[in-house]
Structure 1
Amino acid sequence: MKLEGKVVIITGGAGGLGKEASLLFASEGAHVVVADYNKEAAEEIANGVNGLGLAVDVSNREQVDRLVNEVIDRYGKIDILINNAGITMDSTLVKMNQEQWEHVIAINQTGVFHCTQAVVPHMLQAGYGRIINTSSIVGRMGNFGQTNYAATKAAVIAMTQTWAKELGRKGINVNAVAPGFIMTPMTEKMPEKVLQGMKEKVSLQRLGTPRDIANTYLFLASDDSSYINGAVIPVDGGLSI
């Protein structure tokens, strides 16, 4: 097992990409902390993998600190943090309101800062850590109607590379994953014509799956990637080339 005995916090760990990662990491021997805004869903997933399910709004620093303290109280350490929580509130620039802008920034950008800053002191004390941030290809390419989302995902890339410089010498690797078009329950509800158009833009001619992203998280969390730091790995089937 690649993660035997490791303690991992996965934000947004109860749905979509986070759920798949929670299940995969548990199968690889990790103690999984499923941290999600939806308390019931987090506990359900955690119970299924003998982990810990905790409710957290990553935009709220007090809740994040409480989460980290509970994990330390139970396990005594935090080896891996996956900043997977994120939301979209799409609108074109001229129609985007202040709430759409601020709420996406609060979760996708400030939330990543909160969780990482809260966890890093424990990793520094241990001299070891793996931090994996979820960006997106739109953080480099932009996307129509996603000013707020693209801005946060670009910020995640910048934070990843900054933290890699600061923390790498302390034994903490910081990397990011940039998903492309991924088939999720939300995507599955789209009209077939729209899905086909998305597939045609991808050189592999298919949408990605949550397991494609979870496998990349696993690689970056394991010793297989011990000499990778500050990387932003696109998992997009060639969409961004």
Structure 2
Amino acid sequence: MTDLTDQVAIVSGASRGIGKAIALLLAMQGAKVVCVARSAEELEEVAHKTQGLAVPADVSDADDAQHVVDQALRHFGRLDILVCNAGVGSFGLLEHFDAAEWDRIFDVNVKGTFLLCKAAVPHFKSRHRGHIVGITSDVARRTFENGTAYGASKFAQDAVLASLRKEVRSHGIKVSTIFPGLVDTYFNDSVPGGPDAEKTHLKPSDVAQAVRYVLEAPAHVVIDELMIHPLTQEW
């Protein structure tokens, strides 16, 4: 298994929920974590717990995304892991859905992944190594009513990562995609800890363990896609 000790990892959306769980677990495994999110106050708290670096940023902004990677390189001297986790979503009938909200969802979920990868890949190529992990959703594999914007963004995010995987494999760079089902987080203004959450939802720590699983796979093992089902909590 690959040792994560002293590996430098960027985690976007790290201020709460899945991203926070990923950042904390990677730090527990010895990684040096660059925590990224728009909420500076919550981010500082997570960075303090991970003894890592907090970089407040909007990943849908090209300058901010480049700044994140530049700060990681300036502070730690290299980058080994990029976890594209930042995501937003809202739901409703297509005919009533606000166009500006559609753009916001695509900006964070798709453009944010694209921009962070665009900023990180040149460094990974220069070292002939690196691992990108994208957190998408099981809705990148299915459709549902009222989910046109969110579902389309997750299909698109998956396509970005799948195409990138083919572009960079010959450079020694891995790209893995994780497709969680329902997760008990603050997503879409939900409040974690609902009465049925343990029966119907994954925990953020389940997704974090899936990330750890793909990152710790031996170098010769390629795990392109990993689906996590909320009822069995298996992958």
Code of the aligned partner of 1:160? L
SS of equivalent to 2:214: helix
Aligned to 2:115: 114
Aligned pair 1:22/2:17, yes or no? Answer: no
Normalization by structure 2: what TM-score? 0.91
Cα deviation code 1:42-75 (max 9, x no counterpart): 1111111110011010110011111111111111
Where do 1:115-194 residues align within 5 Å? 115-185=116-186, 186-188=190-192, 192=195
Aligned pair 1:222/2:216, yes or no? Answer: yes
Question: Structure 2 CA distance, aligned partners of 1:104 and 1:225?
Answer: 34
Q: Is the 8 A contact 1:130 1:220 kept in 2?
A: no
Aligned to 1:236: 229
SS of equivalent to 1:58: coil
Question: Structure 1 CA distance, aligned partners of 2:217 and 2:226?
Answer: 17
Cα deviation code 1:58-115 (max 9, x no counterpart): 1100111111111111111110000000001222111101111100000000110000
SS of equivalent to 2:95: coil
Q: CA deviation at 1:187?
A: 5.0
After TM superposition, what 4+ stretches of structure 1 lie above 3 angstroms from structure 2?
A: 187-190, 223-226
Structure 2, unaligned runs of 5 or more? none
Cα deviation code 1:176-208 (max 9, x no counterpart): 000101122525365x5xx48xx8xxxxx5421
Structure 1, unaligned runs of 5 or more? 200-204
Q: Is the 8 A contact 1:129 1:172 kept in 2?
A: yes
Q: Is the 8 A contact 1:12 1:86 kept in 2?
A: yes
> What is the root-mean-square deviation in Å for CA atoms of aligned residues?
1.9
Normalization by structure 1: what TM-score? 0.89
Question: Structure 2 CA distance, aligned partners of 1:218 and 1:177?
Answer: 11
Question: Structure 1 CA distance, aligned partners of 2:38 and 2:144?
Answer: 26
Paired residues, what number?
228
Q: Is the 8 A contact 1:134 1:156 kept in 2?
A: no
Q: Is the 8 A contact 1:14 1:45 kept in 2?
A: yes
Aligned pair 1:9/2:2, yes or no? Answer: no
Aligned to 1:87: 88
Aligned residues with identical type, % of pairs: 27
Question: Structure 1 CA distance, aligned partners of 2:193 and 2:212?
Answer: 28
Cα deviation code 1:118-166 (max 9, x no counterpart): 0011111111110001111111111221211111111122112111111
